[in-house]
Amino acid sequence: MSELPILTSYIDGHFINSDTHFDNINPVNGQTVARISEATPKMIEDAVISARAAQDSTWGKMTVNERCALLHKVADRMAEREEEFITAEITDTGKSLFQVKTIDIPRGTANFRFFADLAKFNSGETFITDTPTGDKALNYSVNKPLGVVGVISPWNLPLLLATWKIAPAMACGNSVILKPSEETSSTAFLLAKVMDEVGIPKGAFNLILGRGSAVGDALTSHHGIDAITFTGASSTGKQIMRSVAERVKPISFELGGKNSAIVFADADLNKAIKGVTRSSFTNCGQVCLCTEKVYVHRSLFDAFIQGLKREAEQIKIGYPKDKDVFIGPLVSKVHQQKVLSYYQLAKNEGATFVTGGGVPKFNDERDMGCFIEPTIITGLSDDARVNQEEIFGPICHVSPFDDEDEVIERVNNTDYGLAASVWTENISRAHRVSPQLDVGLVWVNTWFLRDLRAPFGGVKLSGIGREGGKHSLAFYSEPVNICVHI
Ligand code: NAD
């Protein structure tokens, strides 16, 4: 058997192995494809020292134009190595080639280009102030980097979500220490290679690999880290909040969701069925924005269920690179067991299964993987656990509703508040309902259509703050106000 590749951390411009390794598993067939070297406490310490040194010398001293030219080179090199990024992402996650090729990897590259261009416009504010003595003062602010930013990213859109934070943080002049999910380290490792190849000064970008409870916690609690930007589960967000409290570090949190779709009586039924199929089952339900609850006006309920069932049953599940495959497996056995436990809970809570509920059988190596059936259920109350807890798999519960106020109240009946989608052909209704939903993002007659300039984030348990466009620049910089008596 050939030697398995080893993915290592990247610290102070060097790829560094350690004595502790764990397996990187391909969720398509359960095979080990690489070994991941877990960063030691000393390596984390070295990463922080190196990131700080880059602030005080190279990266921190560059002009915004010099920095952003280098970040464009990162994007160029990522584009040149696109096939390797695609293969790495598919091997770690099992997601379909179509998705990786059209979303994950191009968006990763686009994040660097977009924020490299935007950071040049990171201007401050000016005010002429009248003083009590009749003089004037000039107040102006300048934006400085925060310093060393810890980036902690999840496994569901690994490269896309890591670069969504790394790119603006670096464009604003910060040094970054990235801790990707232990489930999906491969594209982060490749990104470190790219940073090295294009000549990002040592220490400006560091990668530390390892498990959240060990490496992630050591990073967030380190006194040398100036801010933490985190995407992941709400429960992990709570732990990180405790850990940064000691130093009152700035945090940006993009957390879990329990997102609803509302299909009004005046919706284009076909469009809504196709849209909800996509919003419930894309990436095997593993997008924080995925729909897990669907409210359908009673007049359309039966037709909608029939249509959604038909679409769900036509979804092609299989090898990520096979033609027309829409979804591959879930990310891991642990996650498959978690989602299956919710399928079981739905049964225990009395749900009716319209389709799905189990594991597909292939009679080949894929039966050792983490596949799962797209599932539609009905018949549960809004307070059922299945309708309150984030499942993060390809499952949605569909309920009927009768009027607008009722459905708004039901959609808002959750501790989460990330996203919602509204399906209606009535433009007044769309504008009336959308702002009444307690979420950070509403899509009308579409889903997951993103503009990198627009604010992105959630309320309640779904997060703190917004990223995207000027919101990212605001988080990753520290404004200093200077007041000059004239
Ligand atoms: P997770 O919270 O388990 O892990 C996310 C990251 O945090 C990983 O890198 C992990 O190693 C690290 N981590 C775990 N424990 C830690 C600790 N104590 N200290 C520091 N770091 C720690 O999340 P996941 O399972 O990887 O991702 C799925 C979750 O992410 C879902 O809840 C999903 O909704 C959420 N998510 C949110 C968004 C958003 O934009 N709001 C986007 C994608 C995913």
* Interval 437-462: pLDDT, tens: 999 999 999 999 999 999 999 999 99
Distance 351 CA to ligand 1 centre (A): 29
Q: Residue written as tokens 């009308």?
A: 444
Evaluate whether 204 touches 127 at the Cβ level (below 8 Å): no
Report phi then psi at 173, rounded to 5: 100, 5
- The residue whose C-alpha atom lies closest to atom 37 belonging to ligand 1 is 255
Q: Could you list the active site residues?
A: 254, 288
Using the mean position of ligand 1's atoms as its centre, give its distance from the Cα of residue 274 in Å.
Answer: 29
Backbone angles phi, psi at 453, to 5 degrees: -80, -20
Q: Given ligand 1 and candidates 207, 222, 231, 234, which is best to mutate, with the most ligand atoms within 8 Å of its CB?
A: 231
> ipTM of the assembly?
0.97
Residue-wise pLDDT for 201-229, tens only, equals 999 999 999 999 989 999 999 999 999 99
154 CA closest ligand 1 atom index: 26
Do residues 255 and 392 make contact, with C-beta atoms less than 8 angstroms apart? Answer: no
Residue 87 pLDDT more than 90? yes
CA of 418 to the centre of ligand 1 (A): 15
Query: Could you tell me the pTM of the whole model?
Result: 0.97
Model confidence band, residue 2 (pLDDT cutoffs 50, 70, 90): low
Residue range 164-197, pLDDT digits in tens? 999 999 999 999 999 999 999 999 999 999 999 9
In the structure encoding, which two tokens stand for residue 271, read together? 């469009």
Burial class for 484, CB neighbours closer than 10 Å (0-12, 13-18, 19+): exposed
Nearest-CA residue for atom 13 of ligand 1 = 212
- Relative to the CA of 181, which ligand 1 atom is closest? 9
